[in-house]
Amino acid sequence: MDEPLFFEETPRKDPWTNIRVEDWNDWKWQLKNRITKIDQLESLIQLSKDEREGCLFADKKLALAITPYFFNLIDRDDPEDPIRKQVIPNVKETHVQENELLDPVGEDENSPVEGIVHRYPDRVLFLVTDRCAAYCRYCTRSRLVSNAQDYNFHPRFDAGLDYIRNNPQIRDVLLSGGDPLLLSNNKIEYLICELRKIPHVQFIRIGSRIPVFLPQRIDPALCAIFKKYGPIWLSIHVNHPNECSKELFHACEQLAFSGVPIGNQSVLLKGVNNNTETMRSLIHKLLMMRVRPYYLYQCDLITGSAHLRTDPREGIEIIQSLRGHTTGYAVPQFVIDAPGGGGKIPINPNYIESVSEDAITLKNYEGKRYTYPINKESESGKLEHPELIQPLVI
């Protein structure tokens, strides 16, 4: 394939400078050589006291695991490095706030069978594994992933598939976990093939951070499965422009050439990506990787995440500074996944200034006011809930 125009390979750092290229590019080598122990981590990077203590707690909360590839993206001399903050444990994860929850978006209450979360009428979340290539410290499913908290999650594919078969209102299945792309090709093919046989299942997508943590996993055999059973959509999880490497570019390119539309879901994180410059750079890089920014999440109220959570109003400001200033393709929808299980609620800057019988008054991205008249002869009598169309006050 052609060399990408906008992305560079990160030079490999110690102790991996002399690893054979075939090994480095082998996803099994990357998994086998993950950093999972504090001694390994300390031989590579100077940990702060909080990070060091965090590592000692990780086994009981959420395992420490970082692929050499992803670790290599960290600037080890920068204690504030945005990738470091996502994957290196911190003792602040044990400082639990009163309003924080182990299951912050109420998944367990909406689970008719183990591994299925059925919250919206037409679609289900199907958790097919509890393992990931690396662990995000703010993981909303830290109760069950990495099996550090004795949650005893045992996804049973056939029980989940039966539930989907028996509920014809399900037209949309989202495979997630853990990370579904950590499963073998055989298991992935089995799941997708069984889903494709169900007549009412139209839309199949996968939520995965593998392209970001372990881009080597995206190989021709996996892509052939997506091509065969396509369209299969993919949501990846990139938070910072430093994650947009040549390796990620190539993974996305292979997926896109196999007919996989790719979206990105970012989480707004304090000190990682909560400023306009970082977010603008990220979304523009994503477009150049054929990835459409889909959702920007307010960080869930997962236990021990206060040090990473931002004021929700910051997210609104960031969206306001992007919308109209760049293409709509680049602007994600900012959402709060409602605590306790209300689902994702879109949060937007307010562009409606007032609504009357005669006109709707709007503000554009520059703050200039515009009026659009309401045609009384045609539509106004047909609204089902006119009271809902009112400006919000922020």
Ligand X SMILES: *Cc1c(COP(=O)(O)O)cnc(C)c1O
**Residues forming the site for ligand X (CB under 6 A):** 117, 119-120, 123, 125, 174, 344
- For residue 118, the minimal CB distance to ligand X (Å) is 7
Nearer to ligand X, 137 or 205 (CB): 205
E-strand spans in 87-226?
116-120, 123-127, 172-176, 203-207
Nearer to ligand X, 44 or 174 (CB): 174
What is the rounded CA–CA span in Å between residue 221 and residue 229?
13
- For residue 12, the minimal CB distance to ligand X (Å) is 36
Q: Which residues of 47-75 are buried (b: 16+ CB within 10 A; e: fewer)?
A: beeebbbbbebbeebbbbbbbbbbbbbbe
Nearer to ligand X, 24 or 120 (CB): 120
Radius of gyration over every alpha carbon of the chain, rounded to an integer in angstroms: 22
- For residue 204, the minimal CB distance to ligand X (Å) is 12
DSSP string of 89-107, one letter each residue: --GGGG---TT-BSSTT-T
Nearer to ligand X, 14 or 108 (CB): 108
Compute CA 109 distance to the chain's CA centroid, rounded to the nearest angstrom: 22
- Parallel, antiparallel, or unpaired: how do β-strands 343-346 and 291-298 relate? unpaired
- For residue 338, the minimal CB distance to ligand X (Å) is 10
Report, as residue numbers or ranges, the catalytic residues. 119-120, 123, 132, 136, 139, 141, 300, 337, 344
Instruction: Output DSSP code: residue 179.
Output: -
Nearer to ligand X, 74 or 105 (CB): 105
Q: Which residues pair with 235 in a beta bridge?
A: 207, 263
Angle formed by the axes of helices 312-322 and 276-288, nearest 10°: 60
In 3D space, the residue among 52, 50, 56 whose CA is nearest the CA of residue 42 turns out to be: 52
- For residue 25, the minimal CB distance to ligand X (Å) is 32
